Amino acid sequence: MSPASPLFLREDEIRRGIEMLYFGYSALTRSIDEGLAAIGLGRAHHRALYFISRQPDLTIKDLLRLLAITKQSLGRVLNDLIERGYIETRPGPNDRRQKLLRLSAAGAALEAELFRALREKMAAAYAQAGQGSVTGFWRVLEGLIPDQDRSMVFGLRGG
């Protein structure tokens, strides 16, 4: 692949970056779509499993914020995952109405299986690009995250 032009802020270069981001993400998520479809789940289910695995005892409110979807959409996804035994809920320690979410053993196994497929794709791409490129990629993605969401996103690192 040719290096970025010194005129990297021109429209053609920005469009190229947007296209590569879109197609790269599409290829990455397609790597797990078949496995999800085989058990009747979709990408929204995977995103919920992923973020709950990163933050056990995540509240529904926090998951809504992370996923940026409607309460109704999340309700369908969570109900499906709870009915299948992938997610367990328990009341909050201070507010019994609050639901804390965590993966069951089956949910953790499913999330780990899906993550393995994603990890293989990302590791291969990272190895091909090299450490400096990975750091640059992270900086670009970080620049796309709105300031008000950064603490939420960076809080996942300790998960």
Count structural domains, the chain: 1
- What residues are paired with 89 via a beta bridge? 101
Whole-prediction pTM: 0.86
* Cα 110 from Cα 45, distance rounded (Å): 11
Please give the C-alpha separations between residue 158 and each of 53, 99, 137, 153, in angstroms, as whole numbers.
Answer: 12, 21, 20, 10
Domain CATH number, residue 52: 1.10.10.10
At position 32, the amino acid (one-letter code) is: I
* Residue 108 in domain: yes
* Residue 125 in domain: yes
Give me the mean pLDDT over the 10-31 stretch: 93
* Residue 3 in domain: no
Six token digits for residue 66: 């992370």
Residue 56 domain boundaries? 11-158
* Residue 152 in domain: yes
The pLDDT value given to residue 97: 81
Six token digits for residue 123: 């590791």
* Residue 1 in domain: no
- Express each pLDDT in 99-134 by its tens digit: 899 999 999 999 999 999 999 999 999 999 999 999
* Residue 107 in domain: yes
What 8-state DSSP symbol labels residue 99? E
Per DSSP (E only), the strands in 66-112 are 87-91, 99-103
* Bigger pLDDT: 15 vs 92: 15
Give me the mean pLDDT over the 9-19 stretch: 90
